[in-house]
């Protein structure tokens, strides 16, 4: 029996709770968003010098030739929202892919900080919701793009 793949978490019978963004996370992101990136920031975020969860994100996108492009600020926001957890980072990647309109031009494949905020307006999944989503939906391949987990 083949599992029916849903396009997004919203189409599943999954009602997650979210961990509100902490004051520290808000402060971290606002300093990145409002500040001028240091010279070489974009290059570093695409290299093996990036924080480990971002390296995982970069390698998945590059090696699997995924139709998605993250800005450096989006990568930093993803790192902050996922608390540097590699599994949460891959889940965020899956959610971003399911929210793309792949029939349109390259600009629609760009994930910037605004797109991540649109996907997670209340913060990232709570720990219990994250575990439920991974165990009951992603690992069972009920979500589009779940094969990259």
C-alpha 94/C-alpha 81 separation (Å) is: 15
- In Å, the largest CA–CA distance within the chain is 53
Neighbours of 122 (CB within 10 A): 11
Beta bridge partners of 110: 69
pLDDT at residue number 36:
64
Report pLDDT for 1. Answer: 36
- Which of 92-117 are b and which e, b meaning 16 or more Cβ less than 10 Å from the residue's Cβ? bbbbbbbbbeeeeeeeebebebebbe
pLDDT, one tens digit for every residue, the chain (149 residues):
344 445 555 566 777 888 877 777 777 767 766 666 667 777 888 888 889 999 999 999 999 999 999 998 899 999 989 999 999 999 999 999 998 876 666 666 889 988 998 999 888 999 999 999 999 999 999 999 999 99
pTM for this predicted structure: 0.81
State the pLDDT at residue 3: 44
């Amino acid at each position: 029996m083949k599992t029916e793949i849903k396009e997004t978490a919203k189409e599943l019978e999954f009602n997650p709770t979210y961990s509100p963004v902490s004051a520290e996370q808000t402060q971290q992101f606002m300093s990145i968003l409002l500040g001028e990136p240091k010279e070489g920031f974009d290059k570093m975020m695409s290299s093996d010098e990036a924080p480990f969860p971002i390296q995982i994100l970069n390698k998945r996108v590059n090696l699997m030739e995924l139709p998605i492009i993250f800005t450096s600020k989006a990568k930093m926001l993803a790192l902050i929202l996922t608390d540097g957890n590699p599994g949460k980072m891959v889940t965020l990647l899956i959610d971003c892919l399911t929210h793309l309109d792949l029939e349109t031009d390259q600009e629609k494949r760009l994930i910037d900080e605004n797109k991540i905020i649109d996907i997670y307006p209340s913060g990232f999944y709570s720990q219990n919701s994250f575990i439920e989503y991974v165990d009951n939906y992603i690992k069972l391949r009920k979500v589009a793009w779940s094969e990259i987990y």
